[in-house]
Amino acid sequence: MTDATFASRYRAVVADRGRLCAGIDPHAALLEQWGLPVSVDGLRAFADAAVTALGPTAAVIKPQVAFFEVFGSAGFAVLEDVIARGREAGALVLADAKRGDIGSTMAAYTGAWLDDASPLCSDAVTVSPYLGFGSLDPAVAKAKETGRGVFTLARTSNPEGGALQTADTGGRTVAQSIVDAAAEVNGDGSGTVGVVVGATREHGLDLSALAGPVLSPGLGAQGATAADLARIFDGSDLSWLLPAASRSILKAGPDVTALVAAVEATRDEIEAAL
């Protein structure tokens, strides 16, 4: 694909467009709010407006795969179009698929989301490390080879994850062990492995050695503010911080101009705070 590392690609787009990952989450309530049917036709109209507005404006766009998958093969066809158009518009496309398995199955997921031959091929994909960080090896290897990225869950904002992610493993939490494993991969300067750390509460992680992006969902509808980001990630390298917002931006639709304005306002608020 490219000789560039994911770190250099990420740095370039953020320098040009600012720090914001804008989600494309076409769930039923938003389709209805936009006056669209909860159907493939509604999905297609929603996705068209969203990628038209967000693709040329946000540094990263993040389609939530589940909201396309619910419509079966027709939904995946719409997702393929979103991915292709987002990348053509200059955004990095992060497929929020949270894939995680072992062996040949993980290799197949890798082929789907990170291989040029696949119509779902994206610039990065979210993955789950909770079958062991080593289970992600096929995705990490392919991402490093092609200048793409993987974003691994570390300390998520959902309360169900707390007991597992904060469990002690002999002096460090499970979540910290994920961050440390990602840092080891990124030791070559590639920035291949980012981590997902929620913005809605204190995380207790040492991110100083990560040398990769930190996707931080929770801005806007989930309650986190730009000021919270500066506080929660104080002491981290904020140039790697990638705050994510979805519903707080998408509620401005279906008007494309209003969506662009919402992206720009959110980005400017983040940049002012950080």
Per the prediction, the chain carries an average pLDDT of 94
Residue 266 pLDDT > 80, yes or no?
yes
Q: For residues 224 and 54, which has the higher predicted lDDT (pLDDT)?
A: 54
> Which residues, other chains included, contact 112 with Cβ-Cβ below 8 Å and sequence gap of 6+?
118, 120
State the catalytic residue, choosing from 98, 142, 144, 251: 98
* Res 163: pLDDT: 85
Residue 233 reports pLDDT greater than 90:
no
Q: What is the pLDDT of residue 231?
A: 85
Token digits of residue 52: 């038209």
Question: Which pLDDT score, from 0 to 100, does residue 220 have?
Answer: 64
Q: How many other CB atoms are found less than 10 A from the CB of residue 85? A: 18
Q: How confident is the model at residue 108 (pLDDT cuts 50, 70, 90)?
A: very high
Strand positions, DSSP E, 80-169: 92-99, 124-127, 149-155
Classify residue 208 by burial, with Cβ atoms within 10 Å: 0-12, 13-18, 19+: exposed
DSSP 39: S
**β-sheet bridge partners, residue 241:** 214
Q: What's the pLDDT score for residue 1?
A: 54
Q: What is the mean pLDDT of residues 188-210?
A: 90
**Other CB atoms within 10 Å distance of the CB of residue 9:** 18
- On the question of pLDDT at 7 being above 70, the answer is yes
CB 236 within 8 A of CB 211: no
Residue 164, pLDDT > 80, answer yes
As a whole number, mean pLDDT of residues 58-69 equals 98
pLDDT at 2: 66
Q: Is 98 a catalytic residue?
A: yes
- Please state at what angle helix 256-273 crosses helix 40-54, rounded to 10 degrees: 50
Q: Give residue 222's pLDDT band: very low, low, confident or very high (50, 70, 90).
A: low
The pLDDT score that the predictor gives to residue 235 is 77
Render 185-232 in DSSP notation, one character per residue.
HGGGS---EEEEE-SSS------TT--S-EEEE-BSTTSB-HHHHHHH
Higher-scoring residue by pLDDT: 92, 231: 92
Answer yes or no: is pLDDT of 200 > 80: no
* The pLDDT value given to residue 131: 96
pLDDT the model gives residue 12: 98
Please state which of the ranges 115-129, 169-183, 212-226 shows the lowest mean pLDDT.
212-226
Q: For the chain, give every domain's residue range.
A: 6-273
63 compared with 273, residue with greater pLDDT: 63
Task: Indicate whether 139 pLDDT > 90.
Answer: yes
Q: For the residues 132-153, what does the mean pLDDT come to?
A: 97
Q: What is the CATH number of domain 6-273?
A: 3.20.20.70
* pLDDT score at 175: 94
% of the chain residues with pLDDT over 90: 82
